Amino acid sequence: GNSVTQMEGPVTLSEEAFLTINCTYTATGYPSLFWYVQYPGEGLQLLLKATKADDKGSNKGFEATYRKETTSFHLEKGSVQVSDSAVYFCALAGYSSASKIIFGSGTRLSIRP
Amino acid sequence: DAGVTQSPTHLIKTRGQQVTLRCSPISGHKSVSWYQQVLGQGPQFIFQYYEKEERGRGNFPDRFSARQFPNYSSELNVNALLLGDSALYLCASSGDSQETQYFGPGTRLLVL
């Protein structure tokens, strides 16, 4: 079945550091891929998405590219801020079950001033 | 426009009790999905409803049930609560394309 694997946290970086959070997936067909962010005490917010191979999703300085050949969707940001501290979830939705999102286990990111 | 709203925000129940959680989707959205997020894990899909019909069910026991009303709001019911049902319950709505889901703030359920 479909699944998502993302790097375990916690990840701790200094402000202005470069961020990469790895995510790989297993799926049949051509799923849509997402990154969601969860700030402390809040629900999930969609950060970015990509719906087909080689698409790049971007938002708030974050980017991720849909790589079908490596089944990956790594999240990157060139310069992180303290306000980026949150839990990040990689997720996928299959073409035939778009409303059933499969999430990874989440990566907690902490940014030091 | 208001986002997805859920009530209550927090709830404490004891084992064996029953609970009902409520969700109002974004205006114009006809699809509602429910997820359970246990502490430290990613959300797990429970149900999806579209136009008042169940369109998908995750791997949860029959103690979990849901319904969707004519105004597209939804309720999630859990009977015979277990300690392991303690979690954040998230509701998400999406439009007709169902391509992107928008999540509510969740209801945090604690079962003692």
Render pLDDT for B29-73 as a digit per residue (tens, 0 to 9): 999 999 999 988 899 999 999 988 998 899 999 999 999 999 999
Q: Are A17 and A85 in contact (CB under 8 A)?
A: no
Closest CA to B45 of B34, B61, B32, B30: B34
Mean pLDDT over the full length of chain B: 93
How confident is the model at residue A57, as a pLDDT?
96
How confident is the model at residue A97, as a pLDDT?
60
Question: What's the sign of the alpha-carbon dihedral A97, B8, B104, A9?
Answer: negative
How confident is the model at residue A16, as a pLDDT?
96
Which residues are CB-contacts of B94 (< 8 A; sequence separation ≥ 6)?
A98, A99, B29, B31, B33, B100, B101, B102
Interface test mutation site (partner B, options A32, A101, A105, max chain B beta carbons within 10 A):
A101
How confident is the model at residue A73, as a pLDDT?
98
pLDDT of B80 strictly over 90: yes
Residues of chain B neighbouring A9 (CB-CB closer than 8 A): none
Q: If you average pLDDT over residues A10-26, what whole number do you get? A: 96
pLDDT of A79 strictly over 90: yes
Render pLDDT for A28-37 as a digit per residue (tens, 0 to 9): 888 999 999 9
pLDDT of A99 strictly over 80: no
How confident is the model at residue A96, as a pLDDT?
62
The CA R_g of chain A, rounded to the nearest whole Å, is 13
Instruction: Tell me whether A88 touches chain B (CB under 8 Å).
Output: no
pLDDT of A9 strictly over 90: no
CB–CB contacts below 8 A, A to B: 61
Provide the percentage of residues in chain B whose pLDDT is more than 70: 96
Residues of chain A neighbouring B100 (CB-CB closer than 8 A): 46, 49
Mean pLDDT over the full length of chain A: 92
- Confidence class for position A25, pLDDT limits 50, 70, 90: very high
B104 with A45: Cβ contact below 8 A: no
Question: Which spans in B20-97 are helix H?
Answer: none
Residues of chain B neighbouring A93 (CB-CB closer than 8 A): 99
- Confidence class for position A1, pLDDT limits 50, 70, 90: confident
